[in-house]
Structure 1
Amino acid sequence: MKQKAFVVLWALSVGLISGCQQLDNNSPQNATTPTIEANATINRQLAKQALNSTLAYDIVESLTVEVGPRLAGTEQDLIAVDWAVKKLTHLGFDKVYKEPVQVPVWLRGYASASITAPYPQPLVITALGGSVATPKEGITAPIIRFDDLQSLIEANAADVKGKIVFIDHKTERHRTAKGYVMTVGGRSKGAVEAAKKGAVAVVIRSIGTDHDRMAHTGMMRYQNDVVKIPAAAMSNPDADLINAMLKRQQPITLSLNLSSQNRGVATSYNVIAEVTGSTKPEEVVLISAHLDSWDEGTGAIDDGAGVAIVAAAGKLIQDLPQKPARTIRVVLYAAEELGLVGGKAYAKAHAQEMAKHYIATESDFGAGRIYQLDVKVNPEVVDKVLQEHALLSEVGVAPGNNNAYGGPDVSMLPKLGVPVASLRQDGTDYFDYHHTPNDTLDKIDPEALAQNVAVYAQFAYTMAQSTIDLRPLVQPKANQ
């Protein structure tokens, strides 16, 4: 069905639901009308409560003030776990518990860089997550610039050997994460590709859309059979500065010093809360976020906002006079920033329950308003599922497509047969603050945050009540 036509049906279905009381008693639809009416009434009630509540903002304010930055594997991480258990218990969920997760321990340490020739100037940098340190005296070497990761891969090794690789890939601004997806490979794979060609370090232009003199951190990866070299990100203005220097057509020498450390593993926890289903308690609608954050800011938009959204949505459903059919499970994952560690641990720990996971989603894209609902379900029921969420149009959400991935920590679940949904948020300014010291509470619009809660509460409740069979995700071929 064409998108424009479906939007019309979406809107019409709202009218049909709200007008269903007009059906006479002889109507063949009358037997299902009370359920439709009841669900519509409850969904509107949930939305109204969410839009008029400060609960989500209060939760993220509490997290950023009372805990602050919470890098996985650190003392602050465990403080965050304790905070989450107490907060969810205080909110009155039927069940609150935690599950242990082994997480990598990495400490940022000290980071500095400067241009030593031909125009000596300091630079603003930060170590990338997982990076090894430089020697204590640092590294000083000529830089070699590349437009992007692919240009580095295609470069002559003789040109790179002994130099510091500078990957200068600008992140474009989009409502979606499109720009980030295009540039993040330089961060995650740059050190490996540079080391393969004999580089002594790699420094990237920050993966961000801002013009602030702040560097964006984020996780990078090493490869066991490739030497590990230090990796850092510089602020966008400093990347521009280097480009201006390069126009003078003189060799540029950079000095880099990092004291970051990898310290093995530690125990953290996925924190879980449940609203027990009334008639199908063994079946799960999973709504989630990640509890950890980077250590530069206070983790307000990444992902304190998500924690607040799913906790507040779950609380609204918890307080209903009649619980929905399925269990609503709120999961706050550990160590997402260090490699989806909590998400992978959850999938492994709950492997025997995957068939009972009705649908899953994650909030991990800040606090911008949700504008579209995408799903990944049985292709034959996509239209039915989207129409079932017709009331979301009243809070500004349009029907989308069947191409959802669910969010980072649930992205592995479709391979296990679990349907997922993506509640698409407006991320136009998200990468201005992402992974920087500027990720703080003032970046959250309370009204937009409340709209997210309204959408998540309605989505979770509708899915917990749904009678649609969402599986299998891929239809078998006709000859099978």
Structure 2
Amino acid sequence: MKNSLRFLLLLCALPLAIIAQKTDTVVENIIKEANENSHLEKLGHELMDQIGPRLVGTPQMKNAHDWAVAKYAGWGISARNEKWGEWRGWERGITHIDMVHPRIQSLRGTQLAWNPSTSKKGVTAELVVLPTNLKTEGDFKKWLPSVKGKLVMISMHQPTGRPDYNWEEFATEESFTKMKDARSAQNKAWRDNMRLSGYNRRTLPQALETAGAAGIVASNWSRGFGVNKIFSARTKKIPTVDLELEDYGMLYRLVQSGQKPQINIVAQSKELGVQPTFNTIAEIKGSEKPNEYVILSAHFDSWDGGTGATDNGTGTLVMMEAMRILKKHYPNPKRTILVGHWGSEEQGLNGSRAFVEDHPDIVKGLQASFNQDNGTGRVVRLSGGGFLHAYDYLSRWLNAVPKDITKHIETTFPGAPARGGSDYASFQAAGAPAFSLSSLNWSYWNYTWHTNRDTYDKIIFDDVRNNAILTAILTYMASEDPETTSRVKAELPIDSRSGEQRKWPSPRSPVRKGGVD
């Protein structure tokens, strides 16, 4: 009798042992493949150095989509470019900005996105700065006609080009405090003056263009050595350029000292008409539950001051590498594994919002989605996204990840749903379990987020490799989990500003025709 009982217990334990052995083997293979046969550096070179920045509506964006489809095909993974809308087609050309008076000097800067081209000779004109010490809105209106034929400098002259951390390291406490106090006063005076003008940074360029300005010169300093934020122009006919702080400050001082500096701007861009916009979707079909999904998520587009390396080239590399590894070592997943490389995240999560809107069946069958966006660092934060029981399954899946990776990760449960920021918010708004793999800073906000310094050399491949291992294992565990994830929402806290209980965000429709009047 005892022998029979032992035999029955052995039979019951055998499936669990087989599952555990399979899990251990797949996880070990994922880790070994990532560490010994990484494709990350090669993929990063091809995407950032060869294709370059991926501004929505540009040929480079379409090149990137086609490149990704070809890469997936080479790994035996089915992939497609899925059209979701249209955008103003535009291509950056050569930008030359040179001071031609009172002396000759080439300047460091660039034309802003979607700005019309100049002629081959460019625009040469004297620089002027915005008036200070306005008393009334009428004062600005009186000054406005004087910009005709001039290049107008619209950014505040920064009192220092050294980041605060540099001051903190080398300055005396008294000197550092003095600088910060003076800067705060200058910032307040600038804001007050701008308010009296009746315009803001969005509406001012249009008003200057209407008044006959020859062009707009800005400097959107990002509080780091040699680094500026690079976004889009707000003029329709005249050039808008961003100059690095050092050159902008020099020109500003020359204006103030009465030297009447002149610069020549040549900005050769191309208008390409209305262009289709895409998401790239790749798929490894599920063998047991093909209508349930695990989605790997990263936006594919970028701004184009740099090459979009950490925003979001690194997230893209993580998802591509994870898919490559999974196809090789987990080719028959229980659930369907998808990857979404979303277009036009930078203009409002448009690609992922379109996917959620266009594929309610996939959203309904979503087991989990893992999104990575904010920079090159190793993942250090994971939130439950407001799902009440997220701890039950996320902690179970994380348990299979090597401790040298999870020891850096701080978890928050149940957390709260995002209201924007990155593409996981599109899925959370639809009530689907989507999670952000949030990275270590690596000076992301000052040095690489939307800047002219967001380039390949800023990638920390050891951290990106860890993130690919983490993503691949989480995807594998989510696919294999015998249980379907719970979508029960936690009770959200009281909003301190309104005094009312916060509500779950609602799905928002994408902009499907952008940049076109």
Return the TM-score normalized by structure 1: 0.71
Q: Do structure 1's residue 381 and structure 2's residue 398 form an aligned pair?
A: no
Q: Do structure 1's residue 421 and structure 2's residue 435 form an aligned pair?
A: yes
Question: Is the alpha carbon distance of 1:202 and 1:304 closer, same or farther for their aligned partners in structure 2, counting shifts above 3 Å?
Answer: same
SS at match of 1:424: strand
CA distance in 1, matches of 2:157, 2:479: 46
Question: Is the alpha carbon distance of 1:112 and 1:252 closer, same or farther for their aligned partners in structure 2, counting shifts above 3 Å?
Answer: farther
* 1:44-68 deviation line (CA, Å, top 9, x unaligned): 5423432333222232233345534
1:211 corresponds, among 210, 219, 225, to 225
CA distance in 1, matches of 2:476, 2:365: 17
CA contact (8 A) 1:404 1:422 kept: no
Q: Do structure 1's residue 67 and structure 2's residue 51 form an aligned pair?
A: yes
Question: Is the alpha carbon distance of 1:123 and 1:63 closer, same or farther for their aligned partners in structure 2, counting shifts above 3 Å?
Answer: closer
2:408 corresponds, among 392, 397, 401, to 397
CA contact (8 A) 1:414 1:473 kept: no
CA distance in 2, matches of 1:256, 1:439: 27
Q: Do structure 1's residue 98 and structure 2's residue 84 form an aligned pair?
A: no
Q: Which residue does 2:379 correspond to in 1? A: 370
CA distance in 2, matches of 1:445, 1:143: 41
CA distance in 2, matches of 1:173, 1:465: 49
Alignment of 1:214-363 (within 5 A): 216-219=229-232, 230-241=239-250, 255=263, 257=265, 258-260=267-269, 262-294=271-303, 297-321=306-330, 323-337=332-346, 340-363=349-372
Q: Which residue does 1:18 correspond to in 2? A: none
Q: Which residue does 1:50 correspond to in 2? A: 34
CA distance in 2, matches of 1:164, 1:57: 41
Gaps of 5+ in 2: 1-8, 166-193, 493-500, 502-517
* 1:426-453 deviation line (CA, Å, top 9, x unaligned): 2324453455665443333332221121
Q: Which amino acid aligns with 2:81?
A: K
Q: Which residue does 1:194 correspond to in 2? A: 204
Q: Please state how far the C-alpha of 1:155 moved relative to its aligned partner.
A: 11
Q: Which amino acid aligns with 1:397?
A: H
Q: Please state how far the C-alpha of 1:282 moved relative to its aligned partner.
A: 1.2
CA distance in 2, matches of 1:442, 1:41: 35
CA distance in 2, matches of 1:168, 1:278: 61
Count of residue pairs brought into register by the alignment = 426
CA distance in 2, matches of 1:414, 1:172: 37
Cα RMSD for the two superposed structures: 4.4
Question: Is the alpha carbon distance of 1:470 and 1:137 closer, same or farther for their aligned partners in structure 2, counting shifts above 3 Å?
Answer: same
* 1:62-115 deviation line (CA, Å, top 9, x unaligned): 33455344544444443333322111011122x222212423212334545566
Gaps of 5+ in 1: 1-24, 175-185
SS at match of 1:232: strand
Question: Is the alpha carbon distance of 1:197 and 1:103 closer, same or farther for their aligned partners in structure 2, counting shifts above 3 Å?
Answer: closer
Question: Is the alpha carbon distance of 1:35 and 1:205 closer, same or farther for their aligned partners in structure 2, counting shifts above 3 Å?
Answer: farther
Q: Please state how far the C-alpha of 1:364 moved relative to its aligned partner.
A: 3.0
CA contact (8 A) 1:219 1:337 kept: no
SS at match of 2:279: strand
Q: Which amino acid aligns with 1:362?
A: N
Q: Which residue does 1:88 correspond to in 2? A: 72
Question: Is the alpha carbon distance of 1:347 and 1:386 closer, same or farther for their aligned partners in structure 2, counting shifts above 3 Å?
Answer: closer
Q: Which residue does 1:469 correspond to in 2? A: 485
Q: Please state how far the C-alpha of 1:422 moved relative to its aligned partner.
A: 1.4
Q: Which stretch shifts more, 111-120 or 47-56? A: 111-120
